[in-house]
Each structure stands twice: as structure tokens, then as C-alpha cells.
Amino acid sequence: MRTQPLKVALLGCGVVGSEVARIMTTHATDLAQRIGAPVELAGVAVRRPGRVREGIDPALLTTDAEGLVKRGDIDVVVEVIGGIEPARSLILAAMENGASVVSANKALLAEDGATLHAAAAKHGVDLYYEASVAGAIPLLRPLRESLAGDKVNRVLGIVNGTTNFILDRMDSTGAGFAEALDEATQLGYAEADPTADIEGFDAAAKAAILAGLAFHTRVTAADVYREGITEVTAADVASARTMDCVVKLLAICERGADGTSVSARVHPAMIPRSHPLASVREAYNAVFVESEAAGSLMFYGPGAGGAPTASAVLGDLVAVCRNKLSETTGPGESAYANLSVRPVGEAVTRYHLNLDVADKPGVLASVATVFAKHDVSIDTVRQQGRDGDATLVIVTHSATDAALSATVAELRGLEIVRDIAGIMRVETQG
Amino acid sequence: MRTQPLKVALLGCGVVGSEVARIMTTHATDLAQRIGAPVELAGVAVRRPGRVREGIDPALLTTDAEGLVKRGDIDVVVEVIGGIEPARSLILAAMENGASVVSANKALLAEDGATLHAAAAKHGVDLYYEASVAGAIPLLRPLRESLAGDKVNRVLGIVNGTTNFILDRMDSTGAGFAEALDEATQLGYAEADPTADIEGFDAAAKAAILAGLAFHTRVTAADVYREGITEVTAADVASARTMDCVVKLLAICERGADGTSVSARVHPAMIPRSHPLASVREAYNAVFVESEAAGSLMFYGPGAGGAPTASAVLGDLVAVCRNKLSETTGPGESAYANLSVRPVGEAVTRYHLNLDVADKPGVLASVATVFAKHDVSIDTVRQQGRDGDATLVIVTHSATDAALSATVAELRGLEIVRDIAGIMRVETQG
């Protein structure tokens, strides 16, 4: 074993960073054995150097992140700051100075992964980011390495723990969205400003990363169709329950049947309770991968949290350090397939709708005619009457988003249709 | 991209091998892009060269496997023959001739992995074997790479599809073992000679490989305590059902509390229906991994079959070819922890037992005294009476195998105990 240590700079020392530093210290012997050389924490860039950080030598703390990555003796930079800037500039500076990078930064990878990958290739260093999607769950390495000899057709996942916690609570207690969000906030599952989670931005960034790796193409967060869960009501969840379904916020990445396109979308959807993803409770994450030869695989585990995310960071750190020692790099960006990203209007799913209609003869026929006109085929209709009103609960066969939207628009114009609620996609494949 | 192809020799062309050859042909362009060079099937060693093999040039077929691996121009040897010999000699000869090896051979890896790893290290080549455990499920790469910065404490898995199919049928239909085995044979889930599966040899080999990787130590198949499922009765399955449990054949690898030992065992066990492994149906496999930082992770998918296993082989092939091109090797054996393997007598689990006893006063007291004498604490007792006889259904708290065995031996000596049946471990952790 080499005795000269590899030097690691840590950018950010919050929940994840402090856990990374802690494990680097407590598990130093194991890490050295697995890498083939000791690793040394050479500097920690923080915003508040005055704060006491247990187990970290105060002499390592600096507010000068740029100076740290440009020091020249750093082998690996671990970036757990998050956000676009200054993270991007720091990573690029680190690479320019010959350091490999381990990042947990989903937002940056999803927005501008191409720039980072290009810089890594140019400077002959590694860029690893397992921790950016689904916390500790080994997912990116399986996608980019284990399944490298297979053809992935679909990735379907619960990749945001906050929203899964909220939807799980709504399902198990009958609570409304606001009440469930309150509980998530109190228990620390939701941040003070929960926008990124509940509006689906976090999941969309992860969907972009997953789609890129799964299909060997470039997908950015802006390419991902996104709907959050703020409009999911207790009535929607109850409606799903009567169909033996559960509502989940899904990230869905699919290869187009034409072979030249992909789609990526994040939205709430009803899935059957028998689907393995339906039993993913609380803040857990799980991702289903459907590929040609391997069939259906599922990866399940904690999707966030300091220690789980640190586990993913350290797995990458070991790999990157091993590569440094053997003077090589791991797999870089694989975007050769160069597929186009289809708009959500072309995405094909089934839909659930509740129509409040006048309870008189011929209503169903009129409604059915509108569906037929737009080529949206109806799978089931359940009619619930009450005092002159009736509710039609309709589930369609697979249809495009565009066809469904046109159908809904025309239905809204019918005099006999008083309201349309509970419009939600139903995912039954996989 | 390099234009000179990497040459691959395929040893064995059965269900898995033919699928590997097929994918290498149909996905040649994708594989070349992902590797950085084309791969060429340079020879296929078979036993019956006369048989027509669709999509494989007959000129590539040879019965001289040894000559093929010693040809000198082979970059990678894919071994899908199985068994100890001639597989081992061929792999060693291949490595001596500078070829990296991708193997699906669990029996060989579990019996003599150390020799193969040593040869790979000596000759500077790779030895990858993702396909040897749980078919297509990416499991070995996550264990040896993704979790390389974490500390794994326990691996709990369903790693044999045949036995899971049989136990699932027994649970869902009430069938006995023989009947369920018949069905598995008819459907192609069990081989004509099902011994390796139903007696747990297959699962034990996989447990040895998983334990070695998880704990960075050396574990062979002979170190694994093994019980098959041939003695699991319809009554056991029904008894489990009354406890809201299901019987599964589990491979359990645990780190000892002392930190210097590990244990690995394969046996049927009752697990709660709420456990994620309980919902693994039919011939699917799933593995739970509990680690210090990452928490509980689960990997799920098809555990066998030509295409899924080929997916795992090809993932390894891509990695090994990439390493060849960059003149490096991936992670080799990591057995530095050098832990001892504890005998099963020291393994600690809960137990389920049915005692047929005389239905008279004081029986429970006598039975309880025997348990107490051997330090086996009773969790629950359920008494079912019928005509002068009674059955005590007992579930213990955690106890060592040795203590339970001593308890059972003494109970059998009691006059009031007529029979003891349904002795089965109950796994509730994780």
C-alpha cells in the first residue's frame, strides 16, 4: 500500500459534508485498505468558519473555497454545496487543477452536466455523482456500468422522499395536502421552503440525470415535463383507493418506440397497489428499471439524509481515488445516442377523471362521443349518482397528453358537464 | 474510437452463452460506443459443434476450449460453462495468456475464488463475476464499489429462484413440497435434478460470494451453514401464515458483534409478511443490504434465465474491455479484513416450534422450565387443544442455535412431549 496520502478537499460542511468528514476519520483504516492509500482531509470550505464542527480540525476550515481547489496539491474535490454557482465554477477550477470531483449536486448535473463532463474529459479527471440521485441507493453506477451491455427502455421511480412522505400520509390517514405537508415539515422531512420538492423540481433534476445515463443521451432539467403534488387532493387519493391504486409522484423516463427519441416527465400518478413501487412508504425512494435483457429491476433505499448521502459520496470517493492511483479514469459521459427529447404532449399514458354531470338520460353517450372524437378510448366508467347530479369516474386506455387535453377542453364546453376534477395519469405498465 | 476490435472468446454456448453471443451481434454498435472499440466474437468453445446455433458463424465453434484460451490474441474470456473443472483450468490458462475473465460461475468462485483472484492479480488482468449471484440484479458491483466507503453489517437475500418459486406456490396454493416441486419442474423453474437448488447448495455458494464482498474477507461455500427446503411442509407454511409470516429460503450473512468474525448461513425461515422480502414472488430474487451509513437497501429482479444473466455478463464485458483499453484493471479481491467465520451454533435467531403435548395441568410449566434452563427466552405461546392432546406453538426470543438444539433435545426426553415439529428460524430484523 502507498503511504503517501491522497488529499481530499471538501466543499461544504452541512448535513452531508460533516458526515463525509466523520466517516473519513472513523473509517480511515478501512478506506485506506480499499483504496490502496490513505486519504487525508486537506481542507474544508465553509461559509461560517467560526462554528464548532465536531471531529474536524479547525485549522482545515477556510472560507476561501476557490483558493482551496486551486491549491495544486488536491487529488479529489468533494462538492456538497449544492446549487449552480459557485459550485460550477469551483468544480471547473478543481478539474483545471487536476483534481477529480465527487459531487452530490443534482441541480447542477441536470442543468449543465455537459460542461462538467467536457471539462473532466479535457483534464483527464473523474466526475462521479452517485449521491445526486436517490441518496444511498446505488443507481447511477448500475445504470452506467452494470447495465452497460443492455438496452434500457424505461425508468420509473420515486426519487423524492419529501413528496413520498406527504402522499403516503395522505393515503394512510386521509389527510389533505396542506395537513400532510405540515406534518412533513414538523418531522424534518420537508424544508422551510418546500418548493423544490413539492413542485417537482428536485425530482425533475433527478429524472434528467437518470434519463441521460439510461439512454446514453443528453437530457437537461428543462427537457423534463414537470407537475408537482400541490394540487393532489384527499379526494384524488380516495378515488385512487377505490380503484385499489395509490398516488405517487413518479419520475418516468422512456425510450420512444421510434428509437430516436426519449421522454422524461415528473408528475403525480395512480399506480396499482400491487406494483412494487406502491409499497414504498414514508420518505424512502425506489427506482424501477426495465431493460431488454435484464427485465425489471428495482432498487430501494433511503433517498436522502446525511449518512445515506455520505455513503454514496464515499463509494464514489473510493472509486475516484483508486482511479487516481492507477492513473486512469472511470467511464465518462456517454451521450453518443444523441436522442431527441419528446414533448409531454406526445407521452402516452392512461388517465383518470371525475366528471360531475347532470343526472339525465343520454349524458354518458354525449360524454363518450367526445372521448371517441379525440381518439381517447375509455377503459372503465363508474357512475355514482346523488340527487339529480351524477359523477362519472372514467379511466381511459392509453392516450397522448394532447388528445386528453383536447378531450377535457371540449368536455368543459358541454352544458351537461358541471365540473371535471381528479384528472390524473394512471401508470399500469411495469 | 479505436477501430481494431477487442477479441472475446466464449466458453460455453448454452442458455446464457447463446444469449451473450446474440446480444454481442445485435447490439454491436452500442457496445462499441460504450467501450470505445468494437468487440469481436473470436471463438466459441462448445461440446457439440454439430448443433446449429442461430446467429453464430459455425467457423467460430471449436471443441478445443484450451486451445482457444491459449491462442494468444484473446483479450477477454467469457466463461459460462459452470462447475469446477474444466472451468478453473481454462480461466487460469486464459489469465496466464493475458486475457481478462468474465465468469458466471458461482460454484467455482465460492469454492476457489482466492486462486482465481490471485491469478488475476499476478497477471494484471480483471476477474468480474456479476452474473454469478442473482442473475441480472446489479449486486456485486454495488457491494464492491458503491458501498466501498460504507460498513456493511448484514446481507439478507432470496438468491435462488427455484426454491422461491416452490415456497411461493406452497404459500399461495397450500400445496406440499413435492407437489410444488413438480409444478416448478413442469414450468422449467426446476432442473431434472433439482438437488443443487432445493438442498441450498446454489444459495450457499452465492452466500459465500456475497459475504466475502460485503465484509472484505474470504468466505468459501464450505464455510456456509446450509439447510435446504425439502423438509418444509404444508403445515409449516400454514403455521407461518397464522403468524402473518411467510417461509422463504434465506441467505444470511452477518458481521459478528465482536467485529472480528462473520457468519453465513442458508436455511428456510419465517419472515413477517410486511418485510419487503416477503413480497418477492415466483422465481424472482431480492437482496437486502444493511449498512452503517446507507441504511437498508434492497435490490430486486430476475435471478436467473438466459437473457438476464447475459445482461450481467455483458455489463462486466463492457467494464473489462474499457479497462483493457485504458490499460488498467478494476477492483480486485478485497479480503484484507481477514475475519473468522463463526459456526452456525453461535448464530442468533428466533425460533418457531410446534410441540405436541399431553393436555394436562402443569405441562406448560414443565416445558417453560426446559427453555429457561437453556437460557432460551419465550416470546409467545399459543395453545391449541384437541381431545386430550394439545399443541403448543412457541416462538422464542433470539437464542443461539446451540441453545435451541439443547432445549429441543431435552424436550424430546420429556414424557409429556409427544412430538416436536415445525422447528424453523424466524427472522424479524431488517
Walking along chain A (430 residues) 10 residues at a time, the average pLDDT comes out as: 95 95 95 96 92 87 97 97 97 98 97 97 97 93 93 96 97 97 95 96 97 96 96 95 95 91 96 90 95 95 92 97 94 92 86 91 91 95 79 93 94 93 84
Contacts of residue A146 in chain B, CB cutoff 8 Å? 130, 138, 141, 312, 315
Residues composing chain B = 430
Residue B429: per-residue pLDDT:
63
DSSP string, B362-411: THHHHHHHHHHHTT--EEEEEEEEETTEEEEEEEE-SEEHHHHHHHHHHH
Contacts of residue A126 in chain B, CB cutoff 8 Å? none
CB contact under 8 A, A294 and B276: no
To the nearest whole Å, the CA of A301 is away from the closest chain B CA by: 4
What are residue A184's phi and psi, to 5 degrees? -60, -40
Whether domain A344-426 has CATH 3.30.70.260: yes
Nearest by CB to B296, from A148, A301, A315: name it. Answer: A301
Retrieve residue B168's grid coordinates. 411461493
CB contact under 8 A, B314 and A33: no
For residues B265 and B60, give the distance between their C-alpha atoms in angstroms, rounded to a whole number.
42
Residue A387: per-residue pLDDT:
67
CATH for A149-302, options being 2.40.50.140, 3.90.25.10, 3.40.50.150, 3.30.360.10: 3.30.360.10
CA distances for A167 relative to A204, A224, A230, A245, A247, angstroms: 17, 21, 10, 12, 7
Q: Is residue A152 within 8 Å of A290, Cβ to Cβ?
A: yes
Other beta carbons within 10 Å of B26: 13
Query: Strand B417-426 vs strand B348-358: parallel, antiparallel, or unpaired?
Result: antiparallel
Numbers of helices and strands, H then E, in chain A:
14, 18
Residue B430: per-residue pLDDT:
47
> Which CATH architecture group holds B345-426?
2-Layer Sandwich (3.30)
CB contact under 8 A, A328 and B327: yes
Residue B228: per-residue pLDDT:
97
CB contact under 8 A, B149 and A300: no
pLDDT tens-digit series, residues A123-169: 999 999 999 999 889 999 999 999 999 999 999 999 999 999 999 99
Superfamily of domain A6-135+307-325: NAD(P)-binding Rossmann-like Domain (3.40.50.720)
Per-residue pLDDT of chain B (430 residues; tens, 9 = 90+): 889 999 999 999 999 999 999 999 999 999 999 999 999 999 999 998 888 788 899 999 999 999 999 999 999 999 999 999 999 999 999 999 999 999 999 999 999 999 999 999 999 999 999 999 998 899 999 999 999 999 999 999 999 999 999 999 999 999 999 999 999 999 999 999 999 999 999 999 999 999 999 999 999 999 999 999 999 999 999 999 998 999 999 999 999 888 899 999 999 999 999 888 998 999 999 999 999 999 999 999 998 889 999 999 999 999 999 999 999 999 889 999 999 998 877 888 999 999 999 888 889 999 999 999 999 999 999 888 766 778 999 999 999 989 999 999 999 999 999 999 989 999 976 4
Contacts of residue B298 in chain A, CB cutoff 8 Å? 298-301
Nearest CA in chain A to B290: A301
Contacts of residue A296 in chain B, CB cutoff 8 Å? 301-302
CB contact under 8 A, B294 and A331: no
For residues A374 and A386, give the distance between their C-alpha atoms in angstroms, rounded to a whole number.
29
Nearest by CB to A297, from B23, B216, B301: name it. Answer: B301
CB contact under 8 A, B318 and A30: no
Catalytic residue among B206, B248, B360, B373: B206
Report the catalytic residues of A: 206
CA distances for B418 relative to A127, B167, B356, B413, B415, angstroms: 67, 28, 5, 9, 7
CB contact under 8 A, B299 and A299: yes
CATH for B149-301, options being 3.40.190.290, 3.30.360.10, 3.20.20.70, 1.20.1440.230: 3.30.360.10
For residues A185 and A12, give the distance between their C-alpha atoms in angstroms, rounded to a whole number.
24
- Which of A20, A140, A145, A314 is the best substitution to test chain B (most B C-beta atoms within 10 A)? A145
pLDDT tens-digit series, residues A38-93: 999 999 999 988 887 888 999 999 999 999 999 999 999 999 999 999 999 999 99
Say what angle helices B28-35 and B306-325 make with each other, to 10 degrees: 40
Residue A430: per-residue pLDDT:
47
> Which residue ranges make up each domain of chain B?
6-135+307-325, 149-301, 345-426
